[in-house]
Copies of this chain bind each other. A is one copy, B any other.
Amino acid sequence: MMHDVKKTIAVLGGTGKEGGGLALRWAHRGHPVIIGSRTAERAEEAAAEMRETLGGAGSVKGLANPDAAAAADIVVLSVPYAAQQATVSEVATQLAGKILIDVTVPLVPPKVSRVQLPAGGSAVEAVQKLLGDGVRVVSAFQNISAHHLTKLDEDVECDVLVCADDPAAADEVVALAEEIGLTAWNAGPLCNSVVAEALTSVLISLNRRYKVPGTGIRITGVSKDA
């Protein structure tokens, strides 16, 4: 762990499976967690459910997205691709000076097993452009199955690729991922996020073709113990 004082993490879209899984794991590790949603009511509902799962072991509350972002040190964005830009715009002011971890996968239903990247490359680069240099945008967690995150004692067999134009911000997110039992790598600048964003479609394609529930990737030829 890098910090003695645990940073407060808001998960916008924390009512969904992927965001909820991440929120649960961070709360379990002692981070104050705020679930963000479009309405405070839905957010608090999800937070109450999570408190029950944790059996009183964590601090979880629910707020509307802008309030959640305002109250947090670090903000995670885990919403459907179609809601990405609108959600970011709504909390832009509250993000100033903070790290925004974007988990968005630019899937275009119904053909989610085909890579269909936005014009210009990765979805997260458009978010960084929208927010400007005052927010340190980091891309991560796109390839981690929500299913595995939710089972707290389960090993996740998929590495996390972390990309950011600010390497220190990427390193901080690598540490946050490792706190919740994931293996994470600083994979370079934000434009490299194309790999993580597109990889999700490849993994869905592999799941279907090879009839397995959840493929992932491991990085080889490098070790965290070295």
Q: Could you tell me which A residues sit within 8 Å of B by CB distance?
A: 113-117, 121, 157-158, 161, 185-189, 191-192, 194-195, 198-199, 201-202, 205-207, 209-210, 212-222, 226
Contact = CB atoms under 8 A, between A and B. Distances in A.
Contacts of A202: 161, 187-188, 192, 195
A205 B188 contact: yes
B218 A213 contact: no
A115 B195 contact: yes
Given A114-B191, A187-B202, A202-B192, A217 B214 contact: no
A117 B157 contact: no
A154 to B, nearest CB: 12
A216 B159 CA distance: 12
B221 A220 contact: no
A161 B115 CA distance: 14
B221 A212 contact: yes
Given A157-B221, A206-B222, A218-B218, 15 more contacts: A114-B188, A115-B188, A115-B194, A117-B194, A158-B221, A161-B202, A185-B206, A192-B198, A192-B202, A195-B201, A195-B202, A212-B221, A213-B221, A215-B220, A215-B222
A216 B220 contact: yes
Contact of A117 (B116, B121, B186): B121
A163 to B, nearest CB: 8
Contacts of A207: 222
A109 to B, nearest CB: 16
A203 B220 CA distance: 10
B218 A222 contact: no
A127 B108 CA distance: 24
List 7 tightest A-B contacts by C-beta distance, closest first.
A188-B205, A215-B221, A157-B220, A216-B220, A212-B222, A218-B218, A210-B222
